Amino acid sequence: MSDKERQYRKGGPTQMKEYVAKYEDLYKIVKEMFIGIGYSDKQATAVTNSLVEADARHIHSHGTVMLPTYLGYIETTGCLKLDAPDPTVVHETPVSFVMDGHSGVGYVIAETAVKKCIKKAKESGICVAAVRYANHYGYAGHWSEMMADEGLIGITSTNTIRAVCPTRSAERFLGTNPIAVAIPTVGDEPRFLLDMATCVMAYGKICRSKVFAESGVLPDDIVVRPDGTTVTDFPEAIEVVAHGDTPDKIPVEPTGGIAPLGGTTELRSGYKGYGLAMLVELLTGGFSGGIPSKFIPYAGEGVCFFFMAIAPTVFGDPKAVLEHLKYIIEEYRKAQPISEDMPVLMPGDKERHYREEALKNGIVLSDDIVGKLRAVAQRVGKETEFEKVFTVKE
């Protein structure tokens, strides 16, 4: 084991201890901790809604672990402004608007934009919105589902800190740039929910993988070195993905980064993942008049969003439309699995399953995450309440 690897493993995600918390208990303490670090009730509610949901769905990269990260943003760089003015609409038509978030809390800005998008889509049939100077809004699916909860087709995307290399380049220029689409149905068929980063593997999945950390090996064609070759040594890969962004906002070249969906080669269509990531840059930074991921420093200042809500009524009688969507999803559920213990899933099934489990048996968090949250709890004087929320997982 190399020194580097030993160092990484020390206190890292390879420690197998896990904690369990009830959904509502975790929600309560996390919201209190946000208030403790200076969030308003509205800000704390918006962010906690998303972070606890993410943990319940096993999207831990976008879960409560972000609390100490945001605290760092606020204290170190000032990129995330708790006293920012309310988001303002800078352009509006019956089917659209452009919003400026003034570098406030991304979750509040997203919530404001999504609510407006829902209202306008109900009036006009469709609404499209681009938002500039926002901040991290968590897992994208949250906002698509908020639209689907109102019976609308909900689409969203965001640019992010730069992490992904264009095809044929080893410069991290693109964000992981997720695209999320939620499509409601009727009856017992749960809705379609696609929520995907446009890179081959999300940043959080690489960094928090127990399997990679334990084996010390990352599969080929996921992380690209500054010289364009791909990395399979896990500690080296972690160094590459963490390198290249400094608080003074000046990109350090060459950087290396994550490969787009499809990988680095044109043979297996890595250029499609790159094309999708580039599309997201235009939908978000482009249509909002904001900045592209290339210039977004590590604290996330200047993040841009894209939202679209479509009422099923634009395609006919809404009940008939949703029934037909249900029929198609059901037809695709009939695909025969290769292995009986690996059933064919519909996008959204896995997260839904985890969520149901979490509501029943509690949300499971790693020792690593709980440790980071504990430090914040101590700081805001919530240590006793914090410890009561967690029990060690058997």
Name residues contacting a copy of itself, limited to 14-73 (CB under 8 A): none
In order of 28, 231, 250, the CA distances from 364 in angstroms are: 16, 31, 38
Nearer to a copy of itself, 40 or 269 (CB): 269
Which of 29, 140, 183, 299 is close enough to bind a copy of itself by CB under 8 A? 183
Which of 64, 167, 177, 366 is close enough to bind a copy of itself by CB under 8 A? 167
Distance CA(205)–CA(366), nearest Å, equals 14
In order of 63, 248, 378, the CA distances from 37 in angstroms are: 17, 24, 11
| Residues whose CB falls within 8 Å of the CB of residue 388, separated by 6 or more in sequence, listed in order | 25
User: Parallel, antiparallel, or unpaired for β 223-224 and 192-196?
Assistant: unpaired
Using CB under 8 A as the binding rule, whether residue 302 contacts a copy of itself is answered as no
Which of 254, 318, 357, 379 is close enough to bind a copy of itself by CB under 8 A? 254
Using CB under 8 A as the binding rule, whether residue 88 contacts a copy of itself is answered as no
- Cα-based torsion angle of the residue sequence 72, 74, 80, 83 in order, rounded to the nearest 10 degrees: 160
What is the three-class DSSP state of 342? coil
Min dist. Cβ of residue 223 to a copy of itself (A): 12
Min dist. Cβ of residue 255 to a copy of itself (A): 10
Nearer to a copy of itself, 48 or 264 (CB): 264
Helix axes 23-36, 41-56, angle to 10 degrees: 140
| Interface segment toward a copy of itself; rule CB under 8 A; list 25-33, 49-57, 253-261, 358-366 | 253-261
Distance CA(79)–CA(302), nearest Å, equals 8
| Interface segment toward a copy of itself; rule CB under 8 A; list 62-70, 230-238, 240-248, 276-284 | 276-284
Using CB under 8 A as the binding rule, whether residue 81 contacts a copy of itself is answered as no
Footprint of a copy of itself on 200-239 (CB under 8 A):
200-201, 219, 221-222, 227-228
Using CB under 8 A as the binding rule, whether residue 325 contacts a copy of itself is answered as yes
Using CB under 8 A as the binding rule, whether residue 282 contacts a copy of itself is answered as yes
Using CB under 8 A as the binding rule, whether residue 355 contacts a copy of itself is answered as no
Tokens of 289: 């008049």
* DSSP, residue by residue, 45-96: HHHHHHHHHHHHTT-GGGSTTHHHHHHHIIIII--S-TTPPPPEEEEEETTE
Nearer to a copy of itself, 68 or 184 (CB): 184
Nearer to a copy of itself, 26 or 98 (CB): 98
Which of 250, 320, 359, 392 is close enough to bind a copy of itself by CB under 8 A? 320
What is the three-class DSSP state of 157? strand
